[in-house]
Amino acid sequence: MTPATGAPLGLGVLASGRGSNLQAILDATAVPGFPARVAVVVSDRERAQALERARARGVPAVWLNPKDFGDRPAYDAALTGALEAHGVGLVCLAGFMRILGPAFVRAWAGRILNVHPALLPAFPGLAAQRQALEHGVKVAGATVHFVDEGVDTGPIVLQASVPVHPDDTEESLSARILVEEHRLYPEAIRLFAERRLTIVGRRVLVR
Ligand code: GRF
């Protein structure tokens, strides 16, 4: 059903693997009245579980094989083509393991979100949970942020913290953080879809 404010916002979720964040988004957006829906899921990996999760919900699932494209701009252009073809208004990176080129980021500026398993700006990049454990922090967490041309550097929308326990392993800490990722990401999408987010410099104002 179309909400009173108009058609739901179309989401394009980009995922390379397991897709648990995609699943949280699929579940949240399936609730009647949620102001967004998943319009398409795109993966760079043919066997990504995320693609299966999309198909199981009847959501278009697209595999874009990097080997079919000569360079990053060509790949990113195909990505934009797939997103536009499905009426996407917000791109959600959910464990997408490819770097997006500057042209893509500029074309979608202010319309790309990412989830990162750390309290940014601490521990950007790969294996954030391991970085946090190795650093010896007592508090870790999750961040949803807008994507800019850097790696995990864009304006922060929402964050949540979790404790780090003395006996934590990378797996146990990741699992605790993931619970927060699954809660934060749909909430950030809702705020965006309801036009309650404004980017002012590095800050995201939430109405
Ligand atoms: C999550 O930890 C996310 O923060 C990071 O990659 C992981 C993806 O997990 N960017 P999943 O594929 O959503 O289960």
In tens, the pLDDT along 121-167 reads 999 999 999 999 999 999 999 999 999 999 999 999 999 999 999 99
Q: Where are the domains of the chain?
A: 1-108, 115-207
Q: What is the CATH architecture assignment of 115-207?
A: 3-Layer(aba) Sandwich (3.40)
The reply to whether 1-108 and 115-207 are identical in fold is yes
pLDDT > 90: what percent of the chain?
97
On whether the CB atoms of residues 175 and 149 are closer than 8 A, the answer is no
Non-local CB neighbours of 156 within 8 Å, separated by 6+ positions: 120, 143, 144, 145, 204
- What pLDDT is recorded for position 1? 40
Q: Is the pLDDT of residue 37 over 80?
A: yes
Pick the closest to residue 140 from 161, 171, 110 (CA basis): 161
| Residue 72: C-alpha distances to residues 25, 28, 65, 90 (Å) | 27, 32, 12, 21
Which residue's CA lies nearest to atom 8 of ligand 1? 95
On whether the CB atoms of residues 140 and 118 are closer than 8 A, the answer is yes
Which residue's CA lies nearest to atom 10 of ligand 1? 95
Report the pLDDT averaged over residues 56-64: 98
List pocket residues of ligand 1, CB cut-off 6 Å: 15, 17-21, 94-95, 115-117, 178, 181
- What pLDDT is recorded for position 6? 82
Q: Vertex 79, ends 9 and 180: CA angle to 5°? A: 55
Q: Is the pLDDT higher at 173 or at 1? A: 173
Which residue's CA lies nearest to atom 1 of ligand 1? 95
- The reply to whether CATH 2.40.50.100 applies to domain 1-108 is no
On whether the CB atoms of residues 38 and 11 are closer than 8 A, the answer is yes
- What pLDDT is recorded for position 90? 98
Q: Is the pLDDT of residue 74 over 70?
A: yes
> Where is average pLDDT lowest: 1-10, 102-111, 157-166?
1-10
Collapsed DSSP state (helix, strand, coil) of residue 110: coil
Arithmetic mean of pLDDT over the chain:
96
- What number does the ligand 1 atom closest to the CA of 115 have? 4
147, burial (CB in 10 Å: exposed 0-12, middle 13-18, buried 19+): buried
